[in-house]
Chains A and B, each alone.
Chain A
Amino acid sequence: MIDGFLMFSKALWGFMVQNPVMILYVLGATQLGIIVGMLPGLTATMGVALMTTLTFKMEPDSAVLILVCMYVGAIYGGSRSAILLNIPGTPANAATAVDGYPLARQGLAGKAIGIATTGSFLGSMIGLLLLAFFTPLIGNFALKFKSFEFFWLAIFGIVICGNLTAPKDPLKGWIAGFLGLFVATIGMEPYHAYQRFSFGYMDLSGGIHLIPAMVGAFGFAEIITVMKQPKLEVVKGKIDRIFPRGKDIWKYWRSIIRSGLVGTFIGAIPGVGEDIAAWTSYDLAKNSSKEAEKFGKGSIEGLLVAETGNNSAVAGAMIPVLSLAIPGSAPAAVLLAAMFIHGVRPGPLIMIEFPEFVYQVVAMVLLATTAMFVLGLSMVRPLVKVLAIRRAKLMPVVFVLCVIGSYAIQARLFDIGVMVVFGIIGYFMREMDYPIAPMVLGIILGTILDKNLVRSLIISEGNPLFFFQSPISMIIASVTLLTFFSRTRWFRALKSKIRDSIKIRILRMNNPSR
């Protein structure tokens, strides 16, 4: 541990003192990351991917530093558009919009951004500590996950997301999630290379790419919703206070620590990523909060835990990248590829071959987090002015970004079509009270579900008992099924019956004469 601390101090010293240009890289890349994240249509994945091409000729440590700053900045930056426009800049910020946007509509946009920035900062710091000290432990735990656990994790993501985004009618949330899982099956399947649901179209055989679908479902659908209103409402963002009050944050210290731990843990699970981290943190906070009724209506706690969860997952997602060479999320996958491009070979042997690099990455995350906190709080006032811009002026710009953002990642015109189609579907889903977030999550989790369900069925030869065999899968399955059935009428009736019978027994025990 002392060796680790020394390597970390050396790396930090190297970045800050020996090469001061690095500080400029940190500030520039983090600021660019925040802008990329906050602009609807540009995601962390796209930002890191585009930045990889720009840093191709740089020294490995400078290049990786810039990419880490872009990643951290973009995941945080997505909270800006989620709060100000109700359009999550990245899928990771969908949970942020649930309480961030209502706060902005109440004229508390500045406060909401301050809270989100603090939550992101604290989340990153918790993730950072876990990244530095518990990498081997969490890496080993994630290694225990097999196909059954991954299958249940995908289903858990859909059920919990459906539950949260459609509190009135979770059934619609689950339908949206399963539609997303279906969308992910379009294209070439992994076992026999058979093209499913492509009908002979070359573009469809490659599948539906997440980014254009997400940009359409969140971005274009929002444009239609906004432009539909005859009187375009301008939300006035009164900025009474940007820096959050210490007591506002301290009040929720338990939720912050829990979300940081949960976010990092989920981020460390290969392929799962920041979005599930945010939703899980949000759900746990909602279930244990004394102010559960405020969630979804502008809860400070809800906003705080969503941002703590997603930003702690950034550091968490780097744990399997470094220790196993398996990405914890989509942007982490790009980061992993960039590391290979620059000659660093992450994987199980990294602690033997490049032990300093692990602590260099920790130092990079610390610098990026600090820059994000400083830039995040100092840039609030100009950015809240976005609310004062008339929507008719803003929306064509957003659509132009949606179009070019969808196109840029693969340079395919087909992706613009995907964005438009998903935008229209997303709009009608909103109108019918079907939440969009589970559908997008379904597209993300679809590949994980597809591979692991087939693998599980092959291993178990179709025996469903195998799906509950290991303790980890049994726990995830129980939580999933409990979440699912807890929303049914008969389950609630059963619960109240049990509660009543327990009450009667207690009363009888206390007063035996009755």
Chain B
Amino acid sequence: MKQENMPKADFVVSILLMCFGVWIVIHSLQMPRFKEVGANPFSVPGIVPGILGTVIFILSLVVFIRSLTRKGYWLGLNRQTLKNFFQEISLQRMLLTIFICIVYGILMVGSLNYYLATFIFVLVFLILFQLLGSEDITARGKLLMLSVLQAVLVAGIVGAVFRYLFLVDLP
């Protein structure tokens, strides 16, 4: 992130963190006190998270005040800036990476055969980030073959090492 945008980011994040700190404190206060079993008031479950929530709130408040002095509240959001933001290639690549990693890690592993899921993930990842950027058709063919080979090797070797060397029951 550009340093000139940092006060804006600090402004937004500090509000979120302050809310989070308050949420922790409220939840901590709602936790049982175990008075009926004669528990020591300093051993109640909410005491440590309550203190941590308070510290997080105070530290975030300092960031918030500092962002106000740096005019971080002036977010300057309008349709054009939002449009430009979403058209940034780096943002699209970041979202794509998160998306395919979530699909593999959360959805495919555990539902599909591990070797197959890993093969598909590696191949799709390589195709999306390598092959689509290449314009030379001959190079594309070679890249595709190498990608398939890499996907087979990664799925096979990683799966076999964990299954047969480390005796892990694959997901």
B21 to chain A, nearest CB (A): 9
Q: How far is the CA of A194 from the CA of B89 in the complex (A)?
A: 47
Asked if residues A189 and B105 are in contact (CB atoms below 8 Å), the reply is no
Query: Whole-angstrom distance between the alpha carbons of A138 and B17 in the complex?
Result: 41
A461-B59 in contact (CB<8A) = no
Q: Which residues of B contact A230 (CB under 8 A)?
A: 89-90, 93
B171 touches A407 (CB 8 A): yes
Min C-beta distance of A58 to chain B, whole Å: 15
A411 to B110, CA, bound (A): 11
Q: Is B101's CB under 8 angstroms from A220's CB? A: yes
By a CB distance below 8 angstroms, the chain A residues around B101 are: 220, 223-224, 399, 420, 423
Name the distance in Å between B69's Cβ and chain A's nearest Cβ. 12
The answer to whether B167 and A189 touch across the interface, beta carbons within 8 angstroms, is no
Q: Within the complex, which residue of A171, A197, A416 is in contact with B105, where a contact is CB–CB below 8 Å?
A: A416
Q: Which of A394-421 contact B (CB under 8 A)?
A: 395-397, 399-401, 403-404, 407-408, 411, 413, 416-417, 419-420
Complex: A450 Cα to B45 Cα, angstroms? 10
The one of B6, B47, B62, B89 that contacts A454, using a Cβ cutoff of 8 Å: B47
Query: Which residues of chain B are near A433, meaning CB under 8 Å?
Result: 1, 6
Contact between chains at B6 and A400 (CB < 8 Å):
no
Residues of B within 8 A of A390 (CB): 130
The complex places the Cα of A185 from the Cα of B56 at a distance, in Å, of: 14
Find the residue from B34, B53, B101 having the highest chain A CB count within 10 A. Answer: B101
- Within 142-171 of B, Cβ neighbours of A (below 8 Å) are at 150, 154-155, 158, 162, 165-171
Given contacts A182-B52, A228-B90, 19 further A-B contacts (CB under 8 A): A171-B62, A179-B56, A191-B43, A192-B34, A196-B31, A224-B101, A392-B125, A393-B126, A400-B118, A404-B170, A416-B106, A420-B106, A423-B101, A432-B10, A432-B13, A433-B6, A453-B47, A457-B43, A457-B47
The interface residues of chain A lying within 8 Å CB-to-CB of B47 are: 453-454, 457
Contact between B126 and A404 (Cβ–Cβ < 8 Å)? Answer: no
Asked if A400 contacts B59 (CB within 8 A), the reply is no
A396 to B89, CA, bound (A): 20
Q: Is the CB of B27 within 8 A of A182?
A: no
Q: How far is the CA of A178 from the CA of B63 in the complex (A)?
A: 15
Is A257 in the interface zone, CB < 8 Å from B? Answer: no
What DSSP secondary structure best describes chain A's contact surface?
helix
Give Cα A395–Cα B104 distance, bound, in whole angstroms.
14
A447-486 CB mask vs B (1 if < 8 Å, else 0) is 0011001100110011000000000000000000000000
Q: 7 closest A-B pairs (Cβ-Cβ)?
A: A457-B42, A396-B125, A194-B45, A392-B129, A227-B97, A228-B94, A50-B166
Say if the beta carbon of A258 comes within 8 Å of chain B. no
| CB atoms of B40 and A458 under 8 A apart | yes
Please, which residue of chain A has its CB at the minimum distance from the CB of B125?
A396
- Which residues in A have their C-beta under 8 angstroms from that of B130? 390, 392-393
Secondary structure class of chain B's binding surface, majority of residues: helix
A181 on the B face (CB < 8 A): yes
- A191-B45, A400-B154 known; A417 vs B125 contact (CB < 8 Å): no
Question: Nearest chain A CB to B61's CB is how many angstroms away?
Answer: 11
Could you name 17 residue pairs across A and B whose Cβ atoms are closer than 8 Å?
A: A175-B56, A175-B63, A181-B52, A182-B24, A189-B45, A196-B45, A196-B46, A396-B122, A399-B105, A399-B125, A400-B158, A401-B158, A403-B105, A404-B158, A416-B110, A431-B9, A458-B42
Q: Report A46 CB to chain B, min CB distance, Å.
A: 9
Total A residues in contact with B, Cβ cutoff 8 Å: 59
> Chain A nearest CB: distance from B107 CB in Å?
10
B109 engages A416 (CB within 8 Å): yes
How long is the Cα–Cα vector from A423 to B34 in the complex, in angstroms? 37
A392 to B9, CA, bound (A): 29
Known: A399-B104, A453-B48. A227 touches B93 (CB 8 A): yes
| Contact call A178/B31, Cβ cutoff below 8 A | no
Are A462 and B42 touching (Cβ within 8 A)? Answer: yes
Q: How far is the CA of A230 from the CA of B53 in the complex (A)?
A: 39
Which residues of chain B are within 8 angstroms of A171 by Cβ–Cβ distance? 59, 62-63
Q: Which partner residue on chain B sits nearest A397 by CB separation?
A: B154
Whole-angstrom distance between the Cβ of B13 and the nearest chain A Cβ: 5
Contacts of B48 in A (CB 8 A): 185, 189, 449-450, 453-454
Output the nearest chain A residue to B129 by Cβ-Cβ distance: A392
A458 neighbours in B (Cβ, 8 Å): 40, 42-43
Central interface residue in A189, A220, A395, by most chain B CB within 10 Å: A189
Q: Is A494 close to B, CB under 8 A?
A: no
A424–B97 Cα distance when bound, in Å, is: 11
Determine how close the nearest CB of chain A comes to the CB of B73; give it in whole angstroms: 16
CB of B51 closer than 8 Å to a CB of A = yes
Contact flag A192-B110 (CB < 8 Å), given A171-B59, A396-B122, A424-B98: no
The residue among B42, B47, B129 with the most chain A CB atoms within 10 A of its own CB is B42
A413 touches B94 (CB 8 A): no
The answer to the question of A2 belonging to the interface, with a C-beta cut-off of 8 Å to chain B, is no
Q: Is the CB of B171 within 8 A of A413?
A: yes
Which residues from A are CB-within-8-Å of B167? 50, 53-54
- Tell whether B102 is near chain A: CB-to-CB under 8 Å: yes
Given A224-B97, A404-B162, A413-B109, decide whether A194 and B125 contact each other with a Cβ distance below 8 A.
no
Residue contact A397 to B122, C-beta cutoff 8 Å: yes
Q: Could you give, for residues 3-42 of chain B, a 1 whenever the CB lies within 8 Å of some chain A CB and a 0 otherwise?
A: 0001001100100010000001001000110100001101
A420 to B24: give the CA distance in the assembly, Å: 23
A195: nearest chain-B partner, CB-CB: B45
**Counting CB contacts under 8 A, is A511 at the interface?**
no
Contacts of B59 in A (CB 8 A): 171, 174-175, 178
